[in-house]
Amino acid sequence: MLMKIPLDRQAKQPIYLQIRDRIHHLIHTGHLPPNSQLPSIRALAQTTQVNKLTVIEAYSVLEADGLVQAKQGAGYFITPSYSRAKLRSLSSNGHQDQQLSKTIDYAQRRFNPAQQVILPTKGVYSFPDIYSASLRSHNRPDYIDFGLGFPQASDVEDLQRISRRAMKSAHTFFQPGDPQGNLELRNQIVQILLQQGLEISPEDLIVTSGSMQSLSLLANHYVMPGDRVVVEAPTYHGVLSIFQQRRAQVIGIPMTAEGMNLDLLAQYLESHRPKLIYTISTLHNPTGITTSAQHRRQLLALAEAYSCLVIEDNAYEPLSFGTTPPPIKAFDNRGSVVYVGTFSKTLMPGLRVGYMAVTSNDCQSIVERKLLHDLHVSAASQAIVKEYLASGHYRRRLTKIKRLHRDRRDYMIDALIRHFPLSVTWTVPDGGTFLWIQLPNRIDLELLCRAAAERKVLVGSGAAFFPKEQGYPALRLNFSLPSEETERGVRILGEILHIMLEQ
């Protein structure tokens, strides 16, 4: 069918949302009745003169809204039984959850992250220790593991089908690979980043074996023993282990509800002159906080004023339920920001495919360092990711994961309210995989984690996410587990907390 969609290419609203809004209007006015077929991705891309990925994203948003459904091999169709009431309730940006329950609103108002509490950290919580413990639990189905966070939506049939297609290029697996990564895959990543507001050349992209390798390569390239590096406190525990391995001096800047405390950051930049700042701007790990565009601009301005490199880790951005501000990298005109992304959180961790954008003169030096590290990323893994992106399955998978995660986030919050003491607070992230649980100061975190493990519940100890001798009692909980596991695990943790607070 022929569909006319007027587009304003000068507008601030992304093109894919303009397409979504027009189709939404046609459905609402009855011009697209239930069961009617939408134009093919290729046809609509041609008539609107946009990239096919833009059309795929628009259709995926409509699918997430429940207005459109994809039929294998046939295309996209208007949902047979869409609700007019639902049409009226959908917001203009298509992503925002306008109907969060009173329960969630109440829970979000309760969170107020501690900034000045400094507590000696008991025990050792290195990333290898935590990862190894979680791997052992995977072989114990009677354990509930809130510790690690990987996608729960399993599309085995899609993977098998896509893998078979990817194997058509298996002859290339017998040839030496490009240490910078498959060029076709890098071009696809360029298109993904463009949707986020990033204009990156494929020559500035390096495909890696996941974000951990990206961060390790960057730390080895930029950080020498004794150098000072700034991180958010709390932050991703994997990067803490990487910096500690480089024998760097790690400075933790406390998180506020808006992100890293920029007043303190300015003071530390002046007094310590660190080599770099590591930040997670969208769906921060572990707190789930997403910073504003203003906060991002201010952080970059501070970094540039003190000639400080910024490493922006955006691993969870694809799992955002709503629209997010442009990355810090989008405001970077001097090559001051290195951008890190991964497919491990959205496809499957076993593929080990990530990437980083390095727009400074350091790109080729890092590629040479990577060449000595592992020659290149698995050609088979790159081929599978490339086929996922080309087929449109990636966008559909993201839609499925986000719908699942939103439901499971809400379920965990409901369980927390029913089972946890009133003195416990938490974040309500707009996406991602984790809730950050702030506990009363008198809770012995090591004792809590040990008692939970004895009852076969594993958690992410808050101590793991802070630099040494810094932090407050907290837990990171993966909310993407099945509801029955979440219910039982949260109930057990609540029972332990009540006992500890009564003593």
pLDDT in tens, the chain (503 residues): 567 788 888 776 778 888 988 888 888 777 888 889 999 888 898 888 888 778 877 887 787 677 888 886 788 888 876 544 344 444 333 333 433 333 334 444 345 555 444 444 444 466 666 666 666 666 677 889 998 776 665 667 777 888 888 777 767 777 778 999 999 999 999 999 998 889 999 999 999 999 999 999 999 999 999 999 999 999 999 999 999 999 999 999 999 888 999 999 999 999 999 999 999 999 999 999 999 999 999 999 999 999 999 999 999 999 999 889 999 999 999 999 999 999 988 887 778 999 999 988 899 999 999 998 888 898 889 999 998 898 888 888 898 899 999 999 999 999 999 999 989 999 999 999 999 999 998 999 999 999 999 999 999 899 999 998 788 899 999 999 999 999 999 999 999 999 999 87
CATH architecture of 102-153+395-502: Alpha-Beta Complex (3.90)
DSSP 345-389: TTT-GGG--EEEEE-STTHHHHHHHHHHHHSSS-HHHHHHHHHHH
**Euclidean distance between CA atoms 214 and 196, whole angstroms:** 20
pLDDT of residue 300: 96
Cis peptide before 327 (omega within 30 of 0): no
Q: How far apart are the first and last CA of the chain?
A: 70
SS3 450: helix
**Euclidean distance between CA atoms 188 and 75, whole angstroms:** 22
Cis peptide before 234 (omega within 30 of 0): yes
- Element (DSSP H or E) covering residue 93: none
- Of 407, 400, 408, the C-alpha closest to 489 is 408
**Euclidean distance between CA atoms 104 and 429, whole angstroms:** 11
SS3 466: coil
Let me know the angle formed at the C-alpha of 431 by 289 and 92, rounded to the nearest 5 degrees.
105
- Element (DSSP H or E) covering residue 70: strand 68-71
**Euclidean distance between CA atoms 403 and 245, whole angstroms:** 38
**Euclidean distance between CA atoms 296 and 12, whole angstroms:** 18
Alpha carbons within 13 angstroms on the beta-carbon side of residue 89 total 12
SS3 314: coil
Tokens of 316: 């969870």
- Of 309, 372, 53, 361, the C-alpha closest to 203 is 361
pLDDT of residue 1: 59
The answer to whether 67 touches 22, Cβ cutoff 8 Å, is no
448, amino acid identity: L
Let me know the angle formed at the C-alpha of 398 by 392 and 404, rounded to the nearest 5 degrees.
140
Q: Decide which of 3.40.50.720, 3.40.640.10, 1.10.10.10, 1.10.1300.10 is the CATH code for 156-391.
A: 3.40.640.10
| 425-426 and 249-256 strand pairing | unpaired
The answer to whether 233 touches 462, Cβ cutoff 8 Å, is no
What does the radius of gyration of the chain's CA atoms come to, in whole angstroms? 23
The answer to whether 94 touches 56, Cβ cutoff 8 Å, is no
In CATH terms, is domain 15-89 a member of 3.40.640.10? no
pLDDT of residue 70: 81
pLDDT of residue 131: 67
Cis peptide before 429 (omega within 30 of 0): no
Q: What is the pTM of this model?
A: 0.76
What ranges do the domains of the chain cover? 15-89, 102-153+395-502, 156-391
